[in-house]
Structure 1
Amino acid sequence: MPTELGWFYFGAGTLLFFFWAYGIVSFALDLKNKILPGVRTLLANRRARKAEEKREREREEKEQQLY
């Protein structure tokens, strides 16, 4: 039969495990729902800006060729 100290140690370890597991799950959900969509949006905006700059440069080159 475990002593009171053993029960306390087991209970504290179990409690800390649940907070540890909650932290890992919370971090994973934050990554999935906040950080990854933000990174995707940032990359999509960067690609769109580069494509727009390329179209603008091509348009300016065509204008220069017309004159």
Structure 2
Amino acid sequence: MVTEFGWLYVALVTLLFLPWAYGVVRFVMDLKNVYIPKGRQYLRGRKRLKEEKREEEERDDRERQLY
């Protein structure tokens, strides 16, 4: 027979597990919906800046060659 302490222990462990599980789920959802898209946006921006810098350098080289 399970004692009252056993039932209390199971109830408390369950109550402590639920917020922990919720936190894990929210963390995964935040990764998927916030951090991964922002990381992709950051990488796209860096790539765009590199391309703009390269194009500007090529334009400067062409101008120098003309003069």
TM-score by length of 1: 0.95
Q: Aligned residues, how many?
A: 67
Q: Counterparts of 1:34 and 1:16 in 2: how far apart (Å)?
A: 27
TM-score by length of 2: 0.95
Partner secondary structure for residue 2 of structure 2: coil
Q: Give the equivalent residue in structure 1 for 2:19.
A: 19
Q: Counterparts of 1:19 and 1:11 in 2: how far apart (Å)?
A: 13
Q: Are 1:54 and 2:54 an aligned pair?
A: yes
Which blocks of at least 5 consecutive residues in structure 2 are unaligned? none
* CA RMSD across the alignment: 0.7
Q: Structure 1 segments of 4 or more deviating over 4 A? A: none
Per the TM alignment, residue 57 of structure 1 is displaced from its structure 2 partner at its CA by 0.2
Q: Counterparts of 1:53 and 1:29 in 2: how far apart (Å)?
A: 36
Q: Give aligned-pair identity as a percent.
A: 49
Which blocks of at least 5 consecutive residues in structure 1 are unaligned? none
Q: Give the equivalent residue in structure 2 for 1:41.
A: 41
Q: Give the equivalent residue in structure 1 for 2:30.
A: 30
Q: Counterparts of 2:25 and 2:32 in 1: how far apart (Å)?
A: 11
